[in-house]
Structure 1
Amino acid sequence: MKKKLRFIIGIMGLSLIGIFLLQAFWLNNSYKISMDQFKRDIATVLEQNSNAVVFNEAIQHGIYGDSSKVYTSGMIAKLSRLLLSMSDEQGKKHKTGLTITLAMTDSSTTKDTKDSLNKKSGTKDSKSKLFTVNTDSTYIAATLKSQVPSLRHRLDSLFKTKGISSRYALKLSNSNKKGGIYIDQPQLFKQIKAKEVPIRVGLMTPYVMQLAIESDNQYYFRKMQWILLASTLILIMVSCSFIYMLRTIFQQKKVAEIKSDFINNMTHEFKTPITTVALGIEAMKNFDVLRKPELAAEYLDICESEIKRVAEMVEKVLKLAAFERSEVSLNLQQINVVALIEEVINNMQLMLKNKGAKLVFNSAEPDYSIKADKTHLSGVIYNLIDNSIKYAGEHPLIEISCRKEETAFIIEFGDHGVGIPKQYQNKIFEKFFRVPTGDLAKVSGFGLGLSYVATIIQMHNGSITLNNTPDQGTHFTIKLLQ
């Protein structure tokens, strides 16, 4: 059984580890995809910023369209790329200032836009406009600094549309690598190691901008939130299933052990009285005991006592089985709890005397009535006193007290016996459980008494708690609601 259990746990553990590893691999790939998307969004923002600057210059110089018209982002990007590509083409022929004549066109133009724009200087078209692209322009640091507010305003707006909230720094320099350099937030720029590729900004007198931007964990989380949620739920469900299965296996193992212990204990408990009765009958048959009335009566008393003992044990088992099937219902009636306790104590005087036990009963109330089942509540009191007699050692001292609280009646049972070890205190109300070590194991019983007590108290909507100190006795508190 142990080998099978270890094998099952091993297989389940390996399966769980495999699922965790697959989830980790999946999440890692998702994280890399989010990082790539972050980089693509940054590149898109930089391109959109460059296009916007070029388009604004084109509108400002009357190169293209009308500032009163609304242009789509696609139109802006198309024109900007065209103008930049044309300046690059001309830049291959000239090392300094470039003079290009472009024709003004409407945003609705669809035919061969590049041909209509790429007209040489001296065209007779009245809509042509001459402008100069100077790729050899040189800015001083102060002039570059003046570009930062508008750049930041535009970049902040574009980053917001992409859901990016990272801190960033800008480095502005000249296209010809001459003149001044300006770094906005130099400490942050130096701190960020991964920087974007420098990009040209502007058309007429362009400059170079380099962006350094921090990684954005919030961006990654937003991109991965549904994957993270699904992965977390899967891991929680699998882990809970694994734990529940292990718990069920161990509970079944525990039940099997309890069942085996119960059967062994019951066999032993029944064997002793049966053997005693058999010996008594044999003595009366074979040793002429029947001719000796006094001795025969003694033997019959012993047999009767043992038969009653067997009957009590059978009754306990049957009662517990009936409780488990919910076949027992309480016969509630108004009873005097104090008088009931005194009645049970009087009925147990012979047992107390035989064990040399002393019982002290104190009640703050002369009488107190509640609705309860007299028979079963008597059984609760009997079981608790009987337990104290069994486990309180030689000459046990048992103390019972009662008192009234605002909404409940409290009954306390205490003894000065060996107590219950701490590791077993949360199990004593479980059926069939018996403390397995020490002198307690030598006391006969099935481990049903306290389980019966707890069940009856719960059926009365009450509670029972244990206050115990090993070697200083056991103290039970019963709270019965009014």
Structure 2
Amino acid sequence: MQTQVIRRVIVLGVVAIAGIIGMQTYWVATTWNLNDTEFSQKAQLALYGVARQLAAENNAALPKRDIVRQRSSNYFIVNTESEINAQRLEYLMQQELQRLNLDIDFEYAIFNCATNEMAYGGYCYADVDLQPGSLPTTDRTLPPDDDLLYYFGIKFPTRIGYIWQKMQLVVFLSVILILTVAFFAYSLVIILRQRRLAHMQKEFIDNMTHEFKTPLSTIRVAATVLSRDEKVAGDPRLSRYAHLIYSQYERLNGQIEKVLQIANTEKGNFEIKRERVDLQTLLPPLLESASARVEEREGKLTWQLPQRPLHLLADPLHLTNILYNLLDNAIKYGGAAPRVAVVGRVANAYLHLAISDRGPGIAPEYQPKLFDKFYRVPTGDVHDVKGFGLGLYYVRQICRAHHWDIRVESKPGRGTTLHLRLPLSPAPEAVPA
């Protein structure tokens, strides 16, 4: 994954998280304000109802204004302008709160003209089953009001807890959001860490493969000199060893070149240089080389191509590489005596090329992963076919760069076929004389 993509993911993730947290904060604050406003309105209605009933019982008239004064968020002063009975006040207050579904504790005090102080009345629980010691005790002092004569004060000590209880769903969703954000942040840290380790691993592989090129070149020169020496050529045993060294050099060099090609494709350093290539000219040498390898294993390679030019707009080097890889796979996994077939047909300005073998085939559950990097079909403890699992990955990368289609068709016990769908290049228009 490129650095720019990682940065975009981080920036977009941070913006998304900030937006979600902002929206959630706004939602929580708005919900709190609505519940707080609802609480204040219900409390004032309940207190007004109590004041009205007390005035009616005393045959007195209510003040024209300032009946209920809110001194703080949870403390109210109620002006009655008539005498107040403590037991009656407590009973009426409980009735009004129940009528308005305001299930909350309260404490009250009545102004005493003789002492010019608030006479504490008591603490009333919303839940009658609670014992007096079940909730925190208060300071039992409520502030008076200097402008009034007959009044009482009501305080709601558990107002904050009551509002939070009304917001249980919002709190639950907020906790879920916090956990989600924390998980996203943790995942982002893990992704960045894994990317750093993958980058270090890739750099190590790149450096290692480049370092191998120098000794391999030396081995190639030494093997060539040995094979051309008259004494070595005259000794069958030494000649066989010289050819063995050179063949192993070619094998190791091919694997290193494949790793380097994969590294270049992932870094975006490779370029597709499209040219007008005739597959009828490019494919036969590859088929002849593959046929020789198949015959060495007592197998057979057959091919059938349309009798016409097959011009493609492609990079000749990469096209040669992917065809070689597909033929190499068919030979390696075609069994002890591989039977490989290459069939091409033209339809709707496309060349449909199929490379088949009669090997053990691939189970359906493994086929979607066949083009993954380093993936090899599990074979238990038997590893009779060597490789890195890079060939088909490279083939898919080149097909993607050319916008070609490739798919696999396989059934266990009936072999495997890889299908390529390549657009044919139209013949260039003749330039009029």
User: Normalising by structure 1, what TM-score?
Assistant: 0.48
Alignment map for 1:15-34 (pairs within 5 Å): none
Instruction: State the partner residue of 1:476.
Output: 418
C-alpha separation between the residues in 2 aligned to 1:407 and 1:229? Answer: 56
Q: SS of the residue aligned with 1:441?
A: coil
Moved more, 450-459 or 295-304: 295-304
- Percent identical pairs in the alignment equals 21
Q: Answer yes or no: is 1:74 the counterpart of 2:69.
A: yes
Distance (Å, rounded) in 2 between the aligned partners of 1:474 and 1:351: 19
Q: Which residue of 1 aligns with 2:187?
A: 240
1:380 Cα deviation after fit: 0.7
Q: Tell me the residue number matched to 1:224.
A: 171
The answer on whether the counterparts of 2:275 and 2:314 sit within 8 Å (CA) in structure 1 is yes
1:45 and 2:42 correspond: yes
Please tell me whether the aligned partners of residues 344 and 353 of structure 2 are also in contact (alpha carbons under 8 angstroms).
Answer: yes
Residue pairs, 1:256-271, within 5 angstroms: none
Do the aligned partners of residues 236 and 58 (structure 1) sit closer, same or farther apart at CA in structure 2, a change above 3 Å counting? same
Could you report, residue by residue, the CA deviation over 1:318-366 in whole angstroms, capped at 9, with x for unpaired residues?
Answer: 4445445544312202334566445632453322332333334456895
Matched to 2:321, the amino acid is G
Distance 1:322 1:90 in 2: 89
C-alpha contact 2:68 2:78 (8 A) present in aligned 1: no
Alignment check: 8 A CA contact 1:365 1:403 kept: no
Deviation at 1:389, TM superposition (A): 0.6
Q: Specify whether residues 326 and 51 from structure 1 end up closer, same or farther in structure 2 by C-alpha distance, changes over 3 A only.
A: closer
Mapped pair 1:328 → 2:328: no
**1:88 aligned onto 2:85:** yes
Task: Give, as a single letter, the amino acid of the residue that structure 2 aligns with 1:334.
Answer: R
1:387 to 329, 333, 343: 329
What 5-or-longer segments of structure 1 have no aligned partner? 1-29, 93-134, 136-147, 167-192, 198-214
Amino acid at match of 2:314: A
Matched, 1:63 2:61: yes
Number of the residue aligned with 2:7: none
User: What secondary structure sits across from 2:383 in the alignment?
Assistant: helix
Paired residues of 1:51 and 1:81 also in contact (CA < 8 A): no
Question: What's the counterpart of residue 373 of structure 1?
Answer: 315
Q: Secondary structure of the residue that 1:414 maps to in structure 2?
A: strand
Q: Deviations over 1:95-126 (max 9, x none)?
A: xxxxxxxxxxxxxxxxxxxxxxxxxxxxxxxx
**Alpha-carbon distance change, 477 to 277 in structure 1, aligned in 2, over 3 angstroms:** same
* Number of the residue aligned with 1:441: 383
User: 1:88 deviation in Å?
Assistant: 0.6
Pairing 1:399–2:394 present: no
RMSD across aligned positions (CA): 5.9
Partner of 1:116: none
Per-residue displacement from partner, 1:44-73 (whole Å, max 9, x unpaired)?
Answer: 83663252364388599771345xxx7674
Are 2:405 and 2:422, in contact at CA under 8 Å, matched by a contact in 1? yes
Q: Which amino acid aligns with 1:477?
A: H
TM-score by length of structure 2 reads: 0.52
Separation of aligned partners in 1, 2:265 and 2:169: 55
Counterparts in 2 of 1:335 and 1:399: CA distance versus 1, 3 Å: same
Distance 1:338 1:372 in 2: 14
- 2:396 paired residue among 454, 462, 477: 454
Q: 1:54 to 1:216 in 2, by over 3 A?
A: closer
Give the aligned residue type for 2:69.
Answer: G
Which amino acid letter does the alignment assign opposite residue 52 of structure 1? G
> Number of paired residues?
325
Query: What are structure 2's unaligned runs of at least 5 residues?
Result: 1-27, 71-75, 104-125, 131-161, 425-433
Correspondence list, 1:299-338, <5 A:
308-309=250-251, 312-313=254-255, 315-337=257-279
Give the match for residue 418 of structure 1.
360
User: Are residues 368 and 39 of structure 1, via their aligned partners in 2, closer, same or farther at CA, if it must alter by over 3 Å?
Assistant: same
CA contact (8 A) 2:342 2:354 kept: yes
Q: Is the 8 A contact 1:277 1:306 kept in 2?
A: no
How far residue 375 of structure 1 moved from its aligned partner, in angstroms, is 2.4
Counterparts in 2 of 1:438 and 1:337: CA distance versus 1, 3 Å: farther
Aligned-partner SS, 1:443: coil
Matching residue's letter, 1:475: T
Please name the residue that 1:349 is paired with.
291
Alpha carbons of 1:470 and 1:78: their partners in 2 closer, same or farther (altered >3 Å)?
same
| In 2, Cα distance between equivalents of 1:243 and 1:419 | 38
Equivalent residue letter for 1:224: V
Q: SS of the residue aligned with 1:356?
A: coil
Q: Read off the aligned partner of 2:46 and give its amino acid letter.
A: N
Offset at 1:311? 5.1
> 3-state SS of the aligned residue for 2:420?
strand
